[in-house]
Structure 1
């Protein structure tokens, strides 16, 4: 089984990413279950705005991400919180994934059917539940199954302060929730592999 982690941090490599540090908990837990995990940091790629799979302009790297999505049974979207909302790259990701709604497999199912997704959020102030609901709702529209408690987050609390990588505050809860997220994603992905959702009724 394969999983894809899309890190929607605004920081390009090799700048340290707090979101990546928390994602490592989920990645490790998935790998303990035998899942092959690929990580992509969207800030490292050229992803122009749009709502198609391939802009065919010679520079668009979204088709590479799209191919990885189709290879993976599990998707983890990891994003920081900025002004109480998902990062701009997370929003762009959803906009480019919109094309998947009209893409179907050989049996007429939307290509996201029988794939599961979860959300991971970091930020030094609150807003995580709002960000999780926005992204999870979009992924559900696209066709992903979002299991119960398929999320984790970390925030320091109200007001400015240290980021995830600068303090140990709250890490234990976020890590425990992240491990539960990985377990639930893996369990539901396995269940869908055994008993897949069929094509939508006509």
Structure 2
């Protein structure tokens, strides 16, 4: 038994030594994933290429998309990330009809580019803040004294938020995130709140 004790002890130490770095590697390198959740768009007067669309309303809807990025660990506990995503809204169009005018906006899909800064509270749990640029592709319909008009427009904005990401395996992680986006510029009023759940494959 004594002859087996040393090899078994060495084997256990090697197993522990190789398993610990593997968990840390989950948050280092490239990753891709999918996300879905809740989105609320709150619109006031939106300046578009077709004119001013006055909505003054909000709507809750579902959203889903894909994301991709790269994690870097400058220290053992700090994780920095660059990330991009494409998101689609479902049944999230807003409209308003008045006596002599009407307007409708449908935010069909959007792109975002951002950065994350996080801290590993455990080897497998990352708490992070994020911020970045957003671009929303919308379909616009306006009816006023100039007559009916319809078309598409791009609206730019920024977002901030934060979340928690947990390593499920060496390659799979799951996260929950909140975002606030301001898509207003040039007199446009468009705020958006989102709660997103996502799953990522870490290479």
* TM bin (shorter chain): under 0.3
Greater C-alpha radius of gyration: 2
- In terms of fraction of residues, the more helix-rich structure is 1
Greater strand proportion: 2
Q: What's the TM-score once normalised by structure 2's chain length?
A: 0.24
- The alignment's TM-score, normalised by the length of structure 1, stands at 0.24
